[in-house]
Structure 1
Amino acid sequence: MTTRASSSARQPLVSLAPRQWRSLMDELGRRGQGTREAGAFLLASLPNSRRVAHVEYFDDLDPMCLRGNIEIEGHAFSKLWDICEAKKLTVIADVHTHPYAVVQQSSIDKQNPMIARDGHVALIVPHFATRRVRPRHVGVHQYCGDGGWASWFRRDAARRLSVRRWT
């Protein structure tokens, strides 16, 4: 089930500094080599910050996970939780690439949230991150529990994915 939440909300779900955003997009493009999906977990400081403090790439946690699509084994999540505990961070989002301009979730994405926790955000980046990507190009999907998702695109996505200097 996909739900569409109100586009009036202004609070970003994920916030990155411009340098972090460029680095993330460059690294996703490099890791996917323009031919396969790549991804990462976005971590923030506890308790409820939405500002990304650390990026943990899927293939650093599970070197065999990039097989065209992404298949992360359970041991990778143990590593992720250890990193979160050691650095006092929490996972607020995951990001992965898709091959074309389509940033809607695939049926696999919808049925298999990376973190099946209410409020978790999944970002989908077009063109394997091999082109310049702005927040309005990204699909922003928030898990609502029980298989439900809220999704935003274009201007609504850019309102929920903030890429600007922090003050």
Structure 2
Amino acid sequence: MPLFKKKKEEKPAEKISESYELPELPPMPPMPVSEIKETAELPELPPMPTMVARAPATAAPTAPQAPAVVPVSITKEIEEKEKPFVEERKAERIEREKKVGPVYVKIDKYKDALTNFELIKKKLHETEVLLKKIKDTRAKEQTELELWEKELEDIKARIASIDARLFGALE
């Protein structure tokens, strides 16, 4: 599909005759005399009443003038009123959620849920046992570390006493 084509020459539309005259209509067929009714005797209509422009009877009452706006105090009052409204909506939503009717579950799904629940309980128990073992191991390690620290302190004290006895006499 080429992007650039030669434009096709547009043929000018046939010009409509500039005389806007309509062709003459054919003559009406003759009607029988029995179908023609006398239209000369029409009843006269009463004269039209003249309309007088007036205000509508149910005019809207004018709005009272608004008092001057106090910027700080009104704003605080509005904010305080909005908070309980939001809390009421939350309470309504909770009540709607509580009003949910009975839940129907397929037996297969119920059994699957029970097996999954039991499996989770079993793994939770295993995790608790492992956590208890880890805590016991940490406690044993802590007591072991404390013993090693005491032994190191004893060794340091002995070295200091030997050093003082041997090399203290030379000075």
> Fold-level match, TM-score > 0.5?
no
When normalised by structure 2's length, the TM-score is 0.11
The structure, 1 or 2, with the larger RCO (C-alpha pairs under 8 Å, 6+ apart) is: 1
Query: Which structure is higher in strand share?
Result: 1
Query: Which structure is higher in helix share?
Result: 2
When normalised by structure 1's length, the TM-score is 0.11
